[in-house]
Amino acid sequence: MTDLTKNSLNENVNLIRQKKIKSEELTLAFVENIKKGKKLNSFITECNDAAIASAKNFDKKPNFDGLLPGIPIAVKDLFCTNAVKTTAASKMLENFVPTYESTVTGNLWSEGAFLLGKLNCDEYAMGSSNETSFFGNVINPIKENTVPGGSSGGSASALAADLTPATIGTDTGGSIRQPASFTGTVGLKPTYGLCSRWGIVAFASSLDQAGPMTKTVSDCALMLEAMVGFDPKDSTSINKKKENYSKNLSQNIKGLKIGIPKEYRVDGMPKEIDDLWEKGKKFLKEEGAEIIDISLPHTEYALPTYYIVAPAEASSNLARYDGVKYGYRSSKGANLIEMYEHTRSEAFGDEVKRRILIGTYVLSSGYYDAYYLKAQKVRQLIKNDFDSAFNNVDAILTPSTPSATFKIGEKKDDPISMYLNDIFTVPTNLAGIPAMSVPAGYDKNNLPLGLQLIGKPLGEQTLLNIAYVIESKSNLKQNISKWWEK
């Protein structure tokens, strides 16, 4: 019998639709893998029994109307799930059980999917290697002792290791695309406002955006279609008609203009990444796209801008975790202020504290203009760069990351080097535009590398189509040995 967990999401959806398999059979196969995959530490909460019960329920009265009939899906533990613990990978929310369901997960469930488990991530999504989680670091199934990227590291790891047929993450500065690149999977950060942020534990509100993480580009189109939608509960949600990404998925990119920004060629970038980029250009040219050199002059300021804006918003967003209403409360402290101090000292990890401190600093009176206000101005310039580039091109092609995955612990104590991981991904969050990472090759150690496609606002379909070409032309065979099962 074929291993259902190796199938793409679309294949499994079709098998269920054609009544060739039952939801229970599919769910049991994933549950089996989850049980064998504990070494990866990609799950914070397993919902095995509940998922099997949901599958049985589906099979009893199958409804094929939705996009994801009878599909079990594990999600990043940043999405609030009704009656299921939601931790944001923090001690602060170690035992927090929401009484509500995030809009995005709710959308998946109304398309016929159900919850398989909650996936590990960096604490409050702050990190690029999934080493800041209170529940321990996640391992990249690609290779022992390597990081899966972050912050959606658990999602990428579980997906690549066949522990979930597809998943969703959140991307504030690259948290979907960088782990996708590190694990040889597909990840898309939609246009800001396309997916509702309601019910997602907030990191940096003006940058946070949920998105799909999948094995294939067509899976990505399907998941995106299932997730998106206007939500009146989110004031930044875009009110527009839903697009049919799956149906409109096509490899016809003839005549599309693809920009190649010179600023994304950085010092010390491995030659394989440069080669991969060239290969990508060649693929697209072969399919009739036009390659155009462009300039995004403010790119070098994106990372410092990001590390002012994101911590500033985070310092305020995380103020609610004070031990008063829910979550962790220290038993120490003689008064309210001391209770705050102990609670937040004990329950936040180092990276979270670092960002709260940075954010508090840049918003302080006397520093606000020099940091936060200036960063907002630079952010506008970065956005303008993209706007003027998109006068001439339909999409932009860059590497997803400046390197492949790295060893666990290698960059943990060097925040600057860690932050540099996001150098290619943060500009799009600052500009609010869509971007995705698609696997395109390997480095010299046979570690996966991704190419990033950046699109116009609401240009997701164009990105998916171009990625579809790259996926088909690079024709990679994911070959993971499942060393963790031994």
Which are the catalytic amino acids? 76, 151, 175
Report d(CA 164, CA 67) in Å as an integer.
17
Report d(CA 365, CA 428) in Å as an integer.
29
* CB of 31 or CB of 314, closer to another protein: 314
Q: Please state the three-class secondary structure of 78-143 as a single string.
A: CECECCECCCCCCHHHCCCCCCCCCHHHHHHHHCCCEEEEEECCCHHHCCCCCCCCCCCCCCCCCC
Q: Which residues bind another protein (CB under 8 A)?
A: 80, 86, 88, 93, 96, 98-100, 102, 197-202, 204-206, 232-236, 312-313, 315-316, 318-320, 322, 324-326, 336-337, 340, 360, 363-365, 368, 372
* In the complex, least distance from residue 476 CB atom to another protein, rounded to whole angstroms: 36
Q: How many CB atoms lie under 10 A from the CB of residue 112?
A: 21
Contact 194, 210 (CB under 8 A): no
Contact 113, 72 (CB under 8 A): yes
My answer on whether omega of the bond before 151 falls inside 30° of 0, hence cis, is yes
Question: What is the SS3 assignment for 297?
Answer: coil
* In the complex, least distance from residue 433 CB atom to another protein, rounded to whole angstroms: 17
Buried b / exposed e over 348-362, threshold 16 CB at 10 Å, is: bbebbeebbebbbbb
* In the complex, least distance from residue 82 CB atom to another protein, rounded to whole angstroms: 12
Report d(CA 328, CA 322) in Å as an integer.
8
Contacts of 305 (CB under 8 A, 6+ apart): 375, 378, 379, 382, 426, 430
Report d(CA 312, CA 138) in Å as an integer.
27
* CB of 253 or CB of 310, closer to another protein: 310
* CB of 225 or CB of 313, closer to another protein: 313
* In the complex, least distance from residue 363 CB atom to another protein, rounded to whole angstroms: 4
* CB of 207 or CB of 423, closer to another protein: 207
Contact 309, 379 (CB under 8 A): yes
User: Which residues on adjacent β-strands are paired with residue 290?
Assistant: 257
* In the complex, least distance from residue 326 CB atom to another protein, rounded to whole angstroms: 7
* In the complex, least distance from residue 368 CB atom to another protein, rounded to whole angstroms: 8
* CB of 371 or CB of 406, closer to another protein: 371
Contacts of 308 (CB under 8 A, 6+ apart): 358, 362, 371, 372, 374, 375
* CB of 83 or CB of 336, closer to another protein: 336
* In the complex, least distance from residue 325 CB atom to another protein, rounded to whole angstroms: 6
Q: How many CB atoms lie under 10 A from the CB of residue 334?
A: 7
* CB of 86 or CB of 218, closer to another protein: 86
Report d(CA 363, CA 370) in Å as an integer.
10
Angle between helices 217-227 and 103-110 (to 10 degrees): 110
